[in-house]
Amino acid sequence: MKENQKRQTAASSGSTAATRIERDTMGELAVPADAYYGVQTARAIENFPISPLRMPRSVIRAMGMIKRAAASVNHSLGLLDKKLAEAIKQAATEVVVGTLDAEFPVDVFQTGSGTSTNMNTNEVISNRATELLGGARGSKLVHPNDHVNLGQSSNDVIPTAIHIAAGEMMQQQLIPALTRLHKALDRKAKEFDKVVKIGRTHLQDATPVRLGQEFSGYARQIELGIQRVKRAQDALCEVALGGTAVGTGLNCHPKFSSTVMAIISKETGCAFKEAKNHFEAQSAQDSLVEASGELRTLAVSLMKIANDIRWLGSGPRCGLGEINLPETQPGSSIMPGKVNPVIAESVTMVCAQVIGNDVTVTIGGQAANFELIVMMPVMAYNLLQSIELLATASDNFATKCIEGITANEERCKSLIEESLAMCTALAPEIGYEAAAKLAKDAYKSGKTIRQMAKEQRVLPEKRLNELLDPWRMTEPGGPVGSAGG
C-alpha cells in the first residue's frame, strides 16, 4: 500500500539525519531529530526489520480516534488537565486525518499484542501535543503513557482499533460497493428476462433457463453477501476497551469505555459498545474470525459469479458466447484482436487472496493463550485487506464489466435447439427410458431432439411443439415426471 511505502521511506531516511537522544525504561536510544515518534518506536524499527508491510491506514485512523475520544473523556472525568487534553485531541486529529501517516513505520510482524503500534501512536501524539504546547519533541511535556495512554492498555486498545477500522470500512466502502454490484446484476436480470438459453449442470447441457434467471441468482448471492457483511459488523460491535491489561479494568475509570465508544459510534456511524465480558474480548478474537468467515463466503460467491461470466462470454466464435463482455484492453501480445475477460479474472484473484487471508485470520484466532491473543497485527492486516479488496473489486466488477454486458440472443436460441436435454420435457408423457433412447438416437444421427421426435412420431406434432417450447421449460408446472439431474 502506498501509505505504508511512504512510512517506510520516511523512517529509513530519518535514520541518516540528525538525531536526538530519548530514554525509556530500557535506557537511551537515538531517534531521528525530526521524528514525532519516540524511543519505543525506534526500538520496534530495529527489532522488526521483517517486511515492507505496515499497519493499515484504517487502523492508524482508528487509533487516533480512540486517543482523541479518550483525552476528551478523561478530561470530563477530572483525570486530565484541560490544556493537555486539548493538545492531545488536536494531535490525535492529525493522526485521524492522515497528516502524520509517515510517522508510523512499525512492521506488521511485531509484538503479537500490537504494543509497538500502540506506543508508536502514543509517542507521535505525545510529541505533537508537546510541540503544540511549546515544548520540544522528546521532552514528554505531554507523556505518552501517563497522558495519551491514560486508562488504556495495548491489550484493549489494539483489538478495539481493529474492530473500529473493520466496521467503518465495511460501512463506508464494502457495503456501498456491494450495493452497486447488486443493483447492476439485478438490472441485468430484468433486462435479460426474455432471453431463453440452455441450462448447464456438470458443465453438460441441461434444460432451458432464462438468462435473466441466471443473473437473478447472481444478484441474490450479492444480496445475501450484504447481509453477511452486516452480520460481520454485528460480530465486531463489542470492543475490548476498558479491560486494560487482562480484562479486569485495572487503572481505568468504570465509565471510560462506554463514554469513549459512544463518541466513536457517533463519529463513524457504526454501533460500537463495551464488551459484555472483557475476559472474552481480550483473551480471544472469535469475532474477527467470524467476520473473516463472512468475507470468505462473500469471496466464494464472487468467484462463482465471475467464473460464470467468463464462461458465458467465452469465444467470441468457438466458445459459449451467450453474452458479450465489454472490451477493456487488448488480450494478447501475440494474437491480434484477442480480447480477454480481464475484469472477471481480476475478481477471481481477489477472491483467492481473501480466502487465503481467512486462513491467516483463523490461525491467528487460535493464538489465544490465557488472557491475551498474540497475533493481532497480522489478523488486522489480513482482515482489513480482505475488506478493501472485496470493496474495490466489487465496484470495478460492476462498473467495468456487469453494467456493460449484452446478451447474444441468436446464439442462445441456436444452442437450445441443439441440446439433447430437450428430451426431458417429453419424459413425463413418453417415459424416461423412451426419452433417453430418443436422445441417444438424436446424438448418433446428429439430429436435434425435435427432428428425431418428429421422425419417430413419438407424439402428435402439435403436442410435441407444446412440450418442446423452450419458454415453457423455464417455468414451473406442466406434466409431472423426472426432471433430470
Q: How confident is the model at residue 339 (pLDDT cuts 50, 70, 90)?
A: confident
Q: Is the pLDDT of residue 14 over 80?
A: no
CA atoms within 13 A on the CB side of 214: 24
Predicted TM-score (pTM) of the model is 0.93
Indicate the burial class of 82 (C-beta count within 10 angstroms; 0-12, 13-18, 19 or more): exposed
Q: Considering just the CA atoms, what is the radius of gyration of the chain in Å?
A: 30
Q: Which three cell numbers stand for residue 243?
A: 479491560
Tell me the torsion sign for CA atoms 412, 324, 394, 378: positive
Longest Cα–Cα distance of the chain, Å, equals 100
Q: Is 205 helix (H, G, I), strand (E, B) or coil?
A: strand
In this structure, are residues 246 and 371 in contact, taking their beta carbons and an 8 Å threshold?
Answer: yes
**Domain 2-150: CATH architecture, name and number where available:** Orthogonal Bundle (1.10)
* Separation CA 74–CA 148 (nearest Å): 10
Q: Is the pLDDT of residue 110 over 80?
A: yes
Q: Is 35 helix (H, G, I), strand (E, B) or coil?
A: coil
Backbone angles phi, psi at 28, to 5 degrees: -95, 155
Taking 3-state DSSP, the helix, strand and coil percentages for the chain, each rounded to the nearest 5, stand at: 60, 10, 30
Fold for the domain defined by 156-240+284-409? Fumarase C; Chain A, domain 2 (1.20.200)
* Catalytic residue positions, numbered: 202, 332
Q: How confident is the model at residue 279 (pLDDT cuts 50, 70, 90)?
A: very high
Closest CA to 388 of 181, 235, 166, 184: 166
Region 328-354: mean pLDDT is 92
* Separation CA 431–CA 438 (nearest Å): 11
Q: Which three cell numbers stand for residue 349?
A: 484473484
Mean pLDDT, the chain, rounded, equals 94
Q: Is the pLDDT of residue 480 over 80?
A: no
In this structure, are residues 484 and 207 in contact, taking their beta carbons and an 8 Å threshold?
Answer: yes
Cα angle for residues 413, 419, 421 (degrees, 5° grid) = 125
Q: What single letter denotes the amino acid at residue 203?
A: L
Tens digit of each residue's pLDDT (9 = 90 or more) over 204-225: 999 999 999 999 999 999 999 9
If one looks up domain 419-473 in CATH, what number appears? 1.10.40.30
* Separation CA 371–CA 352 (nearest Å): 33
**Dihedral over alpha carbons 29, 31, 33, 38 (to 10 degrees):** -110
The structural domains of the chain, with segments of one domain joined by +, span 2-150, 156-240+284-409, 419-473
CB neighbours of residue 354 within 10 Å: 26
Closest CA to 297 of 231, 237, 236, 245: 231
CB neighbours of residue 414 within 10 Å: 11
* Separation CA 94–CA 125 (nearest Å): 9
* pLDDT at site 15: 45
Q: How confident is the model at residue 477 (pLDDT cuts 50, 70, 90)?
A: confident
Closest CA to 288 of 232, 243, 244: 232
Tens digit of each residue's pLDDT (9 = 90 or more) over 421-450: 889 989 898 999 998 999 899 899 999 988
Backbone angles phi, psi at 422, to 5 degrees: -60, -25
